[in-house]
Amino acid sequence: MANQLLQVQDLKKYFPAGGTLSGIFGKRRYVHAVDGVSFDIRGGETFGLVGESGCGKSTTGKLILRLIDPSSGNILFGNKDIAKLSGQSLKEMHKRIQIIFQNPYASLDPRWTVQKILTEPLIAHDVVPRSEMKNKVAELLEAVGLDPDYMYRFPHQFSGGQRQRIGLARALAVSPSLLVADEPVSALDVSIQAQILNLMQDLQERLNLSILFISHNLSVVKYLSDRVGVMYLGKLVEVAPVEELFNNPVHPYTQALLSAIPVPSLHVKKQMIQLEGDVPSPVNPPSNCHFRTRCPKFSNICAEVEPVPVRVGEDHVVACHLAQKTTTVDD
């Protein structure tokens, strides 16, 4: 377990639901967006975070960058707790952790030239002296496979994939050691997705970058990730190395999720696990195991006791009572 770059411990984010006045009438209600998530990211690896819409995976990413403030929990990065940083030390942290966003059309200021967009991080962190800015911008553009002459153009003159490359160049301008990629390819064409993913892989090897890859697309996560965490309704239900997770999913939710991946073959007949009902409201999630209302293997203990994460294999952790019963916990 050595070589940990980032350690998230029992991270929680509750958003207040309803207007300012709702607190006066009865108990204040909260959206349990992230409800006690713990995982770690190791140096140089890609950690995939998957789950369906609204499960809190993007919120987790934003919490790590402190774009929103956590309600409780720790985010240990090096010897610092990001959750408690402020002012200058927070700014220093932003030099180590960067983010790229889902929507390449909204992530670049439409009024700024590419040059200005890419100098923003350089100025904010004094990366290079002013006289060398232009060279650095050209260098960054080349690194993401774009022509340096593009620096005089505006974002609207680029395609989605090109914009995502610019966003990547901006994130890498400060030479971070962790990159949070918040659904970076889900807005792109499939052919262009592959290009961006390969670029990210290249850059990761060259810069020894760790990536927190947030996505709802399991095939993309499988392609890119070293380890994968599965989230459901604000909780992390299973974490395992990618091969292990896809070959031997333990949590019933993971099993259902993986069974939903379409297989492009006429001969392979897959048994798809059909979950019943909808995701419950995060304002009032089911007590203890959040998945119990839709779980095909539900038993009474799931409603009574909160499942704690247990180790079921090497590096394979599952938060399910079932796993506890069926698997012997070694070490």
Min dist. Cβ of residue 92 to other proteins (A): 8
Q: Could you give the CA distance from residue 79 to residue 116 in angstroms, rounded to a whole number?
A: 34
Asked if 119 and 137 count as a contact pair (C-beta separation under 8 A), the reply is yes
First to last CA, the chain: 13
Nearer to other proteins, 10 or 149 (CB): 149
Min dist. Cβ of residue 188 to other proteins (A): 8
One-character DSSP codes across 285-310: PPSSSTTTTT-TT--THHHHSPPPPE
Q: Could you give the CA distance from residue 227 to residue 221 in angstroms, rounded to a whole number?
A: 9
Element spanning 6, H or E: strand 4-16
**Residues 141-179 as b or e (16 or more Cβ within 10 Å = b):** bebbbbebebbeeebeebebbbbbbbbbbbbbbbebbbb
Nearer to other proteins, 13 or 294 (CB): 13
Q: List the 72-77 sheet strands across, edge first.
A: 30-42, 4-16, 72-77, 80-81
Residue found by looking up tokens 């290249």 in the block: 202
Min dist. Cβ of residue 203 to other proteins (A): 14
Which class for 220: exposed (0-12), middle (13-18), buried (19 or more C-beta within 10 A)?
A: buried
Nearer to other proteins, 180 or 240 (CB): 180
Composition of the chain by helix, strand, coil, percent to 5: 35, 20, 40
Q: Which residues of the chain form contacts with other proteins (CB under 8 A)?
A: 62, 65, 67, 90-91, 94-95, 98-99, 101-103, 105-113, 120-121, 124-125, 145-147, 150, 152-162, 167, 170-171, 174, 191-192, 195
Nearer to other proteins, 102 or 210 (CB): 102
Q: Which of 192, 231, 196 is nearest to 214 (CA)?
A: 231
Nearer to other proteins, 10 or 152 (CB): 152
Min dist. Cβ of residue 235 to other proteins (A): 25
Question: Cα dist. 274→255, 289, 303, 319 in Å?
Answer: 10, 19, 21, 21
Nearer to other proteins, 161 or 282 (CB): 161
Q: Could you give the CA distance from residue 182 to residue 249 in angstroms, rounded to a whole number?
A: 24
Nearer to other proteins, 29 or 96 (CB): 96
Q: Could you give the CA distance from residue 229 to residue 47 in angstroms, rounded to a whole number?
A: 7
Min dist. Cβ of residue 56 to other proteins (A): 17
Min dist. Cβ of residue 64 to other proteins (A): 10
Nearer to other proteins, 162 or 177 (CB): 162
Min dist. Cβ of residue 120 to other proteins (A): 6
Min dist. Cβ of residue 166 to other proteins (A): 11
Min dist. Cβ of residue 105 to other proteins (A): 5
Nearer to other proteins, 151 or 239 (CB): 151
Residue found by looking up tokens 């009032």 in the block: 284
